[in-house]
Structure 1
Amino acid sequence: MAATTDAHSRPHPNSKEAQAAFQEVGQGKDDVFGEEGGHEIRYKTLSWQLVSALMIAEIVSNGMLTLPNAMAAVGIVPSLVLTVFLGIFALYTAKLLIDFKINHPDVHNMGDAGFILFGPVGREVLSAGTIIFAIFGTGSELLAGQQALSTLSNNGLCATVLLVIFSIATFLVSLPRTLQNLSWLGLFSAVMITICGILVMVGAGANPVPDRVVAATVPTSFVQAFLAITGPVFAYAGLFFILISEMRRPQDAMKAAVVLQGFSTTFYSVFGVVVYVYIGSTVASPATFSLPPVWAKTTFAIGMVNFLIAGALYSHTAAKLIYIRLFRHTRHVHSHTVGGWFTWTFLCFVATAIAFILASAVPIFSDLTGVTASLFAAWYTYGIAGMFWIHDTFYLTGGAEALKRRWLGTTLATFTILGGAFICVAGTYVSIKLIADAYREGLVGKPFTC
């Protein structure tokens, strides 16, 4: 008799069990939150429109303000080509991630997906990577908020004090248990970062730099060229699974991805070109520092709203992964229990507190963010999506024969995996080299300084 399971105790791709599973996917069986009717706390409430707003708020954030500086490193043409290409590539990988989620309704985060692909070790590695990436994302937003407050106050308070203030606000905003309760803030945040970007472009146009240097292409080293693409690459590393899990109709997630990638790619391209053309090769990172004081304060004041909400979303995401891991399928998920709320509040506090400590106590925090983005975000946005396609094609549609029959998809998935591997290795190398150079040149500051 033919075997009905594989080495991982999963249905063999040609078995009746696998075919039955394929018919059941996407219909709510074993959904991470199950049936929510009558529960006090319901998660599956998001529309695709609100999910797109949340993703724009989280992704088109302070990273946008670094793009003109990146464009100055390589020139307009290479920067635009890479931004558009990576935007299209990210849309393709988003489709693969969403299909995997539809096929496996019980997947809540990358850790769950890692368990399906690689077993218990995969769950722990990808869960840890998601948490680390989210905490570093929170830290980046905290530093952006601190810069905004310092600019608005004319450096009237110690930078560490301002970081504490912004961290407390971020913690409080992260506390709602469901993304539905954050979604309207996310929409407001997306609007504010868009207005911020528009005002930066207007400010640059109203105050062009005399004798500025603008180039279509700029000869540069591999390190500088790679740094120029890390903005658009790592900005696309959205935490899709957690967001999709709280949608009313996960089948609509692709609409949100199209809105996200269409908006972000277009806005990145226009913003980068306009600011670079008016400021030139001396454009600062973030670009607001290249504007006159009044313009810098105005744009920072508006952008600060996004920094706050985006930081809270990252912190919320880290806490949500651990919380669902601890209490999945228990009453603490859907009920207002003392233990549930205490644990949730504690997790949000710890996520924000760790981000604060890293941002204030580690002088090379920005470069370490590049390391974490290279190690995890490059895979989450690109490489691992190819593994999802190969896994489901093999186990749900006919094994090795299905991979051969769908050769184009198999080829694209393989190149996706290789692309993720390249970005991971190259990005880690570049980030570590920057850290070593900073220490060698004495550019590393001291922790908790004003």
Structure 2
Amino acid sequence: MPDSYPEKNYPQEKSSPRRSPSTRGGGEEGVVAVDETGSEYTVKISERAMSWQRTAVLLFTEYIVLAILAFPYSFQVLGMAGGTISTLLIGIATLYTSHVLWRFCMAYPQCRDIADVAYYLFGEKKVYWYAAFVGLAANNLFIMGLHCNAGATAINTLGYTMCTTVWGVVLAVIMFFGSLIRDFRHTTPLGIFSAGTMFICFLIVVIGHGVQGTPNGYIDDVETPLSWTVWAPEGTTFVQGTSAILNIAYTFIGQALIPSFVGDMAKPEDFPKALYLSMTAELILFTITGAVVYSHTGTILTTAPAYGSLIKKYAQPAAAFTLPTIIIVGILYSLVTSRAVFFQIFPENSKHRRSHTVKGWSVWVAIVAIGWVIAFIIGESIPFFNDLLSLISSLFDSWFGFIFWAFAYKLLYKKSGYFTSFYRSAETILNVVMLIVGLFFFGAGTYAACESIRISYATGAIKTPFGCVNSGFTFTR
């Protein structure tokens, strides 16, 4: 795989909507710049200045998240071998498609977000930018809403049983204020803290299941057997199996944010270093979490998130350590969404975008506030965990995780050829497989997710929207 690509110059009329081409590395603070009116100003808010180390922190922040604790549920449905193989295959596929995405961003350096990628990928027409932005916004707003919901569950598990909807409001307000940061570089300390606390939670969950004896909810070997299976247990349905795979895919697939990270790097050619580092950690942590917890909780007592199968003295600390990650990752997704909108309102050389002006900050605050209001409504209207992960994966990750990058590969090597060598031929075939997988996720996956939601409502497995019912876990000891 080539390490770099020559920069391309594009005429103004071919840039994405309301976007002007720009050069890399020109966003350092203190630089005197000229805005769109010809006036000089001093850059106060940097862009295109992140190092690969800071980018790695953002990737850790994006991937080392609460969804790790849903892996035991997927292992419960798919079996030990089925869960492990699915985790490894989806992880490797994500690594490869992320590399194709990076290659595309190197060939089209004016791309600053996933909507820009879609614009150049599908014919340089505005409709593709807007369609991709709708997908990006919907994907991120769903995740932000999920974080309101998951945060309320964690707080209720701690024993603070105020109305669940009120906790959702509190969390949304906290994440709103955190999202007022406009520079990715300044999120690095938050990212380190987020990944660190989630790693501590991982240790508590894995070690806790090993030392606690029997898990929360255990009665006896007859009513609550702790046995596990190698493959999917007998009677596993298509809906259950597909939903479990989608849960794994949701945790791995984060390509929708990667163009925003690459586009803000001073040396985007260094992105693979961050990618390989984060993916190695993901494969290790995700597989260990699923396998270890499932081996102790079996086919009956596995929960999602996994701290629900811990006894009280371990579960509550684990729930507490998820809260920083829930809040900080919610902030990260808000930043990506808000910046995509903000960048369309102000061109890159605008003083309102690169300096502290009343107009610039007023627009930014309004964008962030609207996003969190919508996210809160989503979180309270769709108050369930696994089914929401599955729906997000099928609707959006099928495109952002697989389908887009098969088309990106096609565009990148259209002139040089797809079967010019053994390696290129194998890569071409692989991209056809990625396209088929993406289409399966989109079609069959969406059906399975919707059917699972219907079953959950029919069986009364989830609470009513905007309710005050305690969503936390209860403990038998």
1:366 is displaced (CA, Å) by 5.9
1:378-413 CA distance string (max 9 Å, x none): 22112211111111211xx44xxx124243332222
Matched, 1:24 2:40: no
3-state SS of paired residue (2:44): coil
400, 416, 419: which is aligned to 1:380? 400
Aligned to 1:429: 447
Determine what percentage of the aligned residue pairs are the same residue: 28
1:350-400 CA distance string (max 9 Å, x none): 111111111113446863553232121122112211111111211xx44xx
Give distance in 1, aligned partners of 2:335 and 2:288.
Answer: 31
Kept in 1: contact 2:243–2:387 (CA 8 A): no
Change (3 A) 1:33 1:124: farther
- Correspondence 1:20-419 to 2 at 5 A: 23-25=6-8, 30-31=21-22, 35-37=26-28, 38=31, 39-118=43-122, 119-152=125-158, 154-209=159-214, 211=221, 212-217=226-231, 218-219=233-234, 220-238=236-254, 239-281=257-299, 282-329=301-348, 330-363=350-383, 367-394=387-414, 397-398=415-416, 402-405=417-420, 406-419=424-437
1:285-341 CA distance string (max 9 Å, x none): 111111111211101111111111011111111111111122123222211111111
1:268-301 CA distance string (max 9 Å, x none): 0011111111222211111111111121110111
Kept in 1: contact 2:419–2:425 (CA 8 A): yes
Q: Which amino acid aligns with 1:438?
A: S
Give distance in 2, aligned partners of 1:115 and 1:93.
Answer: 18
3-state SS of paired residue (1:170): helix
Give distance in 1, aligned partners of 2:103 and 2:135.
Answer: 22
3-state SS of paired residue (2:418): helix
Aligned to 1:7: none
Kept in 2: contact 1:83–1:269 (CA 8 A): yes
Q: Which amino acid aligns with 1:277?
A: S
Which runs of 5 or more structure 2 residues have no equivalent in the other structure?
A: 10-19, 32-42, 215-219, 469-477
Give distance in 2, aligned partners of 1:106 and 1:312.
Answer: 25
Change (3 A) 1:284 1:168: same
Q: Please say which of residues 48-57 and 207-216 is displaced more in the overlay.
A: 207-216
1:241 is displaced (CA, Å) by 0.4
Q: Which amino acid aligns with 2:230?
A: A
1:38-63 CA distance string (max 9 Å, x none): 02111222222222222222222111
Q: Please say which of residues 346-355 and 99-108 is displaced more in the overlay.
A: 346-355
1:91 is displaced (CA, Å) by 0.6
1:121-156 CA distance string (max 9 Å, x none): 22111111011101111111121211111122x143
1:233-266 CA distance string (max 9 Å, x none): 1112221001111112111111111112111111
Give distance in 2, aligned partners of 1:407 and 1:147.
Answer: 49
Q: Which amino acid aligns with 2:161?
A: G
CA RMSD of aligned residues (A): 2.1
3-state SS of paired residue (1:51): helix
3-state SS of paired residue (1:24): coil
1:177 is displaced (CA, Å) by 0.5
Give distance in 2, aligned partners of 1:428 and 1:32.
Answer: 40
**Regions of 4+ moved over 4 Å:** 363-366
Q: Please say which of residues 322-331 and 281-290 is displaced more in the overlay.
A: 322-331
1:84 is displaced (CA, Å) by 0.6
Change (3 A) 1:368 1:73: closer
Kept in 2: contact 1:358–1:365 (CA 8 A): no
3-state SS of paired residue (1:107): coil
Aligned to 1:13: none
Larger relative helix fraction: 1
Give distance in 1, aligned partners of 2:103 and 2:330.
Answer: 28
How many residue pairs end up in the alignment?
A: 422
Give distance in 2, aligned partners of 1:449 and 1:32.
Answer: 50
TM-score, normalised with respect to structure 1: 0.89
Aligned to 1:8: none
Which runs of 5 or more structure 1 residues have no equivalent in the other structure?
A: 1-21
Q: Which amino acid aligns with 1:36?
A: G
Q: Which amino acid aligns with 1:82?
A: S
Q: Which amino acid aligns with 1:290?
A: S
1:431 is displaced (CA, Å) by 0.9
Kept in 2: contact 1:57–1:193 (CA 8 A): no
Kept in 2: contact 1:32–1:108 (CA 8 A): no
1:87 is displaced (CA, Å) by 0.7
3-state SS of paired residue (2:101): helix
Give distance in 2, aligned partners of 1:366 and 1:132.
Answer: 18
Give distance in 2, aligned partners of 1:123 and 1:342.
Answer: 25
TM-score, normalised with respect to structure 2: 0.84
